[in-house]
């Protein structure tokens, strides 16, 4: 369905003996080519220094310059691609991912099928194996395209490069190869999440997600449990039922269990999946409503994460819970003023039917308790207020456990899926008190993201380490970045994989 570059091998030989379409060399800001240039032959060195002296390239991050390979250059290569790395002491994993995406875009544009990249050879504040993996991850992430509904791809996307080879030292080969295996698994998980988000809502409905969960379970030996209407009613999950009652597409609660950690307590991740959010009776404005198909991006991230963990065969236990519903206005839809008794027994007054995500998450978070999680994390495109507060550069982070939040923030920096903490002081809880029920689903317009977090906190058991990720601004890429094309971003998959590897394997 989606595509990616099929191969990212490594090569420990001399670059001057390599045969392929293009040799890729990095240039730091200030016209400083990497030291590995010396391994490419005198002809290559001369043309690079000529280009830099002429200021055809300045080394700023993301710059690129394609040159014909001179006689006497790398054997068999027909082109030389110079890539700006930016300031040497400011190179990060995320910058390298963006550079990888730029390399792929240039290869596609110039119909370069096979590339050899020397960039990870030099130390740049990161371990060489880490830098190599980040660069390859960027290339693979940038290779994504979603053509399921196109009879013909746009001209600038028709060519697909075939391989991106990393030149590495022999002593680094084993470490790089091991990291690349993990990168491929994580990227495939991101692609699954992107695919689910990019499909239209007339395809992706709650039943479609349930079927995808069954297929995922069959492929990766995951225990899959689907609650339909009868099971939801029996469990008293009236939050999920109320949100879905306005649609002909009935809601579902999807549970996926990966068990490879013995008797260890699991990481439980909950992902909001409103497959289309028209707002219900509290109807949204028509402008950009088509993007409300992305309101299931939290659930999509859970799917992608479970697939990646299962592919990597991590020695941990993970449970993914995805409440899925479609929020439409109709004669059967819930109304403002309705009162819902949730599965936990907490009664909620519905002030705004467009604050529906917290209603389905309420039941899902309560359901998560049966698994006695070591950590409980939910992801949701919950509030437009988060976009106002943080834009599209990072997701909001709220929770009840400072240690868990710090850990998530650190792995967010490493994975490139950044988080920023927001407070939940006790005074905020006053704003969701209801005159007719225990709480209401919408308070004042002020501190909207925090209000959402306060609401969800009522459904987390006391003492349970919990974090809420509001991904409203990051779930959809609207302008396109080198390694994140327009459309569903798959945000959360890389972050959760990094967290699981770092904090669930002890």
pLDDT of the chain, 506 residues: tens digit per residue: 455 666 678 888 888 777 889 999 999 998 788 888 887 877 788 888 899 999 999 999 989 999 988 765 555 688 999 999 999 888 999 999 999 999 999 999 999 999 999 887 666 678 889 999 999 999 999 999 998 998 877 766 778 899 999 988 899 899 999 999 999 999 999 999 999 999 999 999 999 999 999 999 999 999 999 999 999 999 999 999 999 999 999 999 999 999 999 999 999 999 999 999 999 999 999 999 999 999 999 999 999 999 999 999 999 999 999 999 999 999 999 999 999 999 999 999 999 999 999 999 999 999 999 999 999 999 999 999 999 999 999 999 999 999 999 999 999 999 999 999 999 999 999 999 999 999 999 987 899 999 999 999 999 999 999 999 999 999 999 999 999 999 999 999 999 999 999 999 97
Where are the CATH 3.40.630.10 domain residues in the chain? 189-503
Cα torsion for 228, 229, 232, 236, to the nearest 10°?
Answer: 180
Q: Of 311, 209, 306, 301, nearest to 490 (Cα)? A: 301
CATH topology of domain 2-166: 3.40.220
Residue 5 has a pLDDT of 63
Distance (Å, whole) CA 116 – CA 8: 10
Residue 7 has a pLDDT of 67
Residue 72 has a pLDDT of 56
Distance (Å, whole) CA 477 – CA 496: 19
Residue 3 has a pLDDT of 59
The DSSP call for residue 290 is G
Helices (runs of H) and strands (runs of E) counted in the chain: 14, 23
Model pTM?
0.96
Report the Cα–Cα distance between both ends of the chain, in Å, rounded.
36
Around Cβ 223, how many Cβ atoms within 10 Å?
11
Phi, psi of 117 (to 5 degrees): -110, 130
Distance (Å, whole) CA 34 – CA 91: 13
Tell me if residue 198 falls in helix, strand or coil: helix
Tell me if residue 413 falls in helix, strand or coil: helix
Q: Which CATH superfamily is 189-503 part of?
A: Zn peptidases (3.40.630.10)
Where are the CATH 3.40.220.10 domain residues in the chain? 2-166
Strand 163-167 versus strand 114-117 pairing type: parallel
Residue 156 has a pLDDT of 65
Residues with catalytic roles: 284, 358
Tell me if residue 361 falls in helix, strand or coil: helix
Distance (Å, whole) CA 187 – CA 168: 21
Q: Of 349, 491, 372, 70, nearest to 362 (Cα)? A: 349
302 with 310: CB under 8 angstroms? no
How many residues belong to the chain?
A: 506
17 with 75: CB under 8 angstroms? yes
Q: Of 455, 460, 456, nearest to 434 (Cα)? A: 455
- Indicate left, alpha or beta for 340 from its phi (over 0: left) and psi (-120 to 50: alpha): beta
Phi, psi of 205 (to 5 degrees): -125, 180
């Amino acid at each position: 369905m989606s595509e990616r570059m099929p191969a990212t091998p490594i090569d420990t030989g001399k670059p001057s003996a390599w045969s392929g379409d293009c040799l890729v060399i990095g240039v730091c800001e200030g016209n400083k080519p990497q030291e590995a240039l010396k391994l490419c032959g005198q002809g290559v060195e001369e043309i690079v220094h000529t280009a830099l002296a002429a200021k055809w390239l300045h080394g700023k991050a993301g710059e690129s310059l394609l040159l014909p390979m001179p006689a006497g250059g790398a054997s068999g290569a027909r082109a030389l691609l110079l890539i700006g790395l930016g300031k040497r002491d400011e190179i990060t994993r995320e910058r390298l991912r963006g550079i990888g995406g730029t390399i792929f875009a240039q290869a596609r544009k110039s119909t370069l099928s096979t590339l050899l990249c020397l960039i990870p050879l030099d130390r740049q504040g990161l371990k060489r194996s880490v830098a190599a993996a980040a660069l390859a991850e960027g290339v693979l992430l940038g290779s994504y395209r979603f053509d399921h509904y196109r009879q013909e791809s746009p001209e600038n996307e028709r060519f697909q490069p075939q391989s991106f080879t990393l030149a590495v030292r022999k002593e680094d080969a084993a470490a790089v190869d091991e990291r690349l295996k993990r990168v491929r698994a994580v990227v495939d998980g991101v692609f699954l999440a992107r695919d689910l988000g990019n499909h239209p809502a007339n395809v992706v409905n709650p039943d479609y997600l349930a079927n995808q969960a069954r297929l995922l379970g069959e492929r990766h030996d995951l225990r899959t449990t689907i609650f339909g209407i009868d099971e939801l009613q029996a469990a008293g999950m009236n939050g999920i039922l109320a949100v879905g009652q306005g649609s002909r597409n009935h809601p579902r609660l999807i549970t996926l269990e990966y068990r490879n950690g013995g008797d260890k307590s699991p990481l439980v991740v909950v992902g909001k999946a409103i497959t289309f959010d028209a707002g219900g009776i509290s109807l949204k404005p028509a402008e950009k409503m088509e993007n409300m198909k992305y309101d299931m991006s939290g659930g999509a991230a859970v799917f992608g994460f479970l697939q990646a963990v299962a592919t990597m065969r991590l020695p941990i236990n993970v449970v993914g819970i995805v409440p899925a519903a479609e929020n439409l206005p109709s004669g059967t839809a819930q109304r403002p003023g309705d009162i819902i008794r949730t599965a936990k027994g907490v009664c909620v007054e519905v002030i705004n039917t467009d604050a529906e995500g917290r209603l389905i998450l309420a039941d899902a978070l309560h359901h998560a308790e049966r698994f006695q999680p070591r950590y409980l994390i939910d992801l949701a495109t919950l509030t437009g207020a988060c976009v106002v507060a943080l834009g599209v550069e990072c997701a909001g982070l709220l929770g009840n456990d400072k240690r868990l939040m710090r850990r998530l923030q650190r792995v967010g920096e490493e994975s490139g899926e950044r988080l920023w903490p927001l407070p939940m002081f006790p005074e905020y809880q006053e704003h969701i008190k209801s005159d007719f029920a225990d709480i209401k689903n919408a308070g004042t317009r002020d501190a909207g993201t925090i209000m959402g977090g306060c609401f969800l906190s009522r459904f987390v058991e006391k003492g349970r380490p919990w974090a809420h990720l509001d991904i409203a601004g990051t779930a959809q890429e609207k302008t396109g970045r080198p390694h994140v094309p327009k459309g569903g971003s798959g945000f959360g998959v890389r972050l959760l994989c990094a967290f699981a590897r770092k904090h669930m394997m002890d």
